């Protein structure tokens, strides 16, 4: 096994750059940290190289051993990791969808990752995200998905096109808004449902809301608003997929 | 108005230390950033001093003007703020509670703050947190509450004592667990309900679960678990307070 002992190693320099979105976009690669995520990535066949301190070994993939400083440099974790994989970006195919989540300009990586995790938990079939939603391969997003990103298609798209395409396919598309909206309990359940959640500060953009079949709001008692990942969780639970 | 121009100023040094838990514990003070939070804090009468770059002014409280570098040093925000208040820690009184949230060793500040925000949104009356739950006055917690921490009592306690006291007061206390539990929809609604949410990795501790009247789980379709703030949101929505 190749052994890397220097931070000046050219590969280490190249891998470190993958912590930046620009370089991930350019190369189509990303970093996945820790044995759990690497196993999920291996199951998808997208792992190029695993860098490890020697404590982990994976079969059928190129392994590189590195000193702890190298892993520390590649990792976003403060507590340190024992293995990091260089992976190819991927998109799972959408199969016969019944429940779809649309994310309009979600900014916070934690919210984005949590929404993906929740979508998988409640049997959703796909997540479409606006071009300006934060990067799926941001390490905080990956960490927040807890591996769920390997179990659901996450597709970057022009949301107005997606809404129209879903409607053509028989979907009822719900916006989330406090104005001109029905309460979530009043919304009618149907076989194919899609829900649009919006930006943390501004909500769903008016142009998208206008395309939706209906808007819904979550009945709250006291405060003016909910965190978007919490709101998404409540909606996805209520209309969870049956599979 | 006093004007501070140097980072070496003794007050600036003392205030900067409030970014650390140890110093907050010692002094009983904390920092609140931005006009929205400061207004909420002023309504509670807990503001000692407001430090501003001159763009904001608040009546009936000691104001200090400072150069941007000072505000930047005090602030946890990367984008910078125009005003920061030094506030006294506080606990609102619990009044005739019907819905209570208990948090057992929540670690992530974002989760903690979001749970407080959601509790207010769904008409909960109090949040009790175990001694080892993260610090309420951590800036990430404060930011995630979005001001909600000024609208609900958040009380640090020995949770086993709290569970017993609530039960004595007629509360039905629900743990959250996948084992020996009923699904959330099956749980019986009652006038006084309390819910215990647990640590991100380990869930509610067995000793607390044992004290609970019943445990519940959220019906999921695909994945193994939910983020704790999402789980809390779904439960609190389902059993939201009626006031």
pLDDT of residue A78: 77
Contact B227 A122 (CB under 8 A): no
Q: Please name the member of A121, A229, A234 whose beta carbon is closest to the beta carbon of B237.
A: A234
DSSP per-residue codes, chain B: -EEE--TT-HHHHHHHHTTSHHHHHHHTEEEEESHHHHHHHHHTT-EEEEEESSS---TTSEEEEE-HHHHHHH---SS--SEEEEEE---PPP-S-SEEEEEES---HHHHHHHHHHHHHTT--EEEEETTSPPTTSHHHHHHHTTGGGSS-EEEE-HHHHHHHHHHTT-EEEEE-SSSEEEGGGSPP-SSEEEEEEBTTTBS-HHHHHHSSEEEE---SSSS---HHHHHHHHHHHT----
* pLDDT band at A139; cut points 50, 70, 90: very high
Contact B121 A223 (CB under 8 A): yes
What are the structural domain ranges in chain B? 2-88, 99-238
Q: Give the pLDDT confidence of B83-131 residue by residue, as tens digits.
A: 999 999 999 999 999 999 999 999 999 999 999 999 999 999 999 999 9
User: Of A222-226, B109-113, B232-236, where does mean pLDDT reach its minimum?
Assistant: A222-226
Question: What is the pLDDT averaged over residues A128-138?
Answer: 95
Shortest distance, CA A231 to any CA of chain B (angstroms): 8
Contact B221 A240 (CB under 8 A): yes
pLDDT of residue B156: 96
Domain B99-238: homologous superfamily in CATH: SPOUT methyltransferase, trefoil knot domain (3.40.1280.10)
Contact A221 B234 (CB under 8 A): no
Shortest distance, CA A115 to any CA of chain B (angstroms): 9
Contact B118 A241 (CB under 8 A): no
Provide the CATH topology of domain B2-88: 60s Ribosomal Protein L30; Chain: A; (3.30.1330)
CA distance A181 to A187: 9
User: Which one of B221, B224, B229, B236 would you mutate to disrupt binding with A, by most A Cβ within 10 Å of its Cβ?
Assistant: B221
Q: Which residues contact B44 (CB under 8 A, 6 or more apart)?
A: B90, B92, B150
Phi (first) and psi of residue A186, to 5 degrees: -80, -20
Contact B229 A227 (CB under 8 A): yes
Q: Please name the member of A219, A229, A240 whose beta carbon is closest to the beta carbon of B230.
A: A229
pLDDT of residue B222: 63
* pLDDT band at A15; cut points 50, 70, 90: very high
CA distance B109 to B102: 16
Whether residue A235 has pLDDT greater than 90: yes
Whether residue B74 has pLDDT greater than 80: yes
Higher-confidence residue of B78 and A32: namely A32
Q: Give the pLDDT confidence of B124-144 residue by residue, as tens digits.
A: 999 999 999 999 999 999 999
* pLDDT band at A243; cut points 50, 70, 90: low
Q: Please name the member of A148, A222, A234 whose beta carbon is closest to the beta carbon of B123.
A: A222
Chain B residues within 8 A of A121 when measuring between CB atoms: 220-223, 225-226
Q: Give the pLDDT confidence of B144-185 residue by residue, as tens digits.
A: 999 999 999 999 999 999 999 999 999 999 999 988 899 998
Whether residue A57 has pLDDT greater than 90: no
């Amino acid at each position: 096994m190749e052994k890397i002992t220097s931070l000046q190693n050219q590969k280490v320099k190249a891998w470190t750059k993958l912590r930046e979105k620009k370089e991930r976009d350019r190369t189509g690669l990303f970093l996945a940290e820790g044995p759990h995520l690497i196993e999920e990535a291996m199951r998808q066949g997208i792992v190029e190289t695993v860098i490890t301190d020697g404590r982990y070994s994976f079969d059928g993939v190129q392994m590189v051993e590195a000193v702890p400083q190298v892993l520390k440099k590649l990792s976003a974790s403060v507590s340190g990791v024992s293995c990091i994989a260089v992976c190819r970006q991927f998109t799972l195919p959408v199969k016969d969808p019944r429940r779809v989540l649309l994310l309009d300009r979600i900014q916070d990586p934690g919210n984005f990752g949590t929404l993906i995790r929740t979508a998988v938990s409640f049997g959703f079939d796909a997540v479409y995200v606006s071009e300006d939603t934060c990067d799926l391969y941001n390490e905080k997003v990956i960490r927040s998905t807890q591996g769920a990103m390997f179990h659901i298609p996450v597709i970057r798209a022009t949301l107005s096109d997606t809404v129209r395409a879903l409607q053509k396919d028989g979907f009822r598309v719900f916006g989330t808004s406090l104005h001109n909206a029905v309460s979530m309990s009043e919304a009618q359940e149907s076989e194919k449902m899609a829900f649009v959640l919006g930006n943390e500060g501004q909500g769903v953009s008016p142009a998208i809301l206008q395309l939706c079949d209906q808007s819904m709001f979550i009945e709250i008692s006291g405060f003016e608003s909910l965190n978007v990942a919490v709101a998404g969780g409540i909606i996805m639970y209520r209309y969870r997929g049956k599979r």
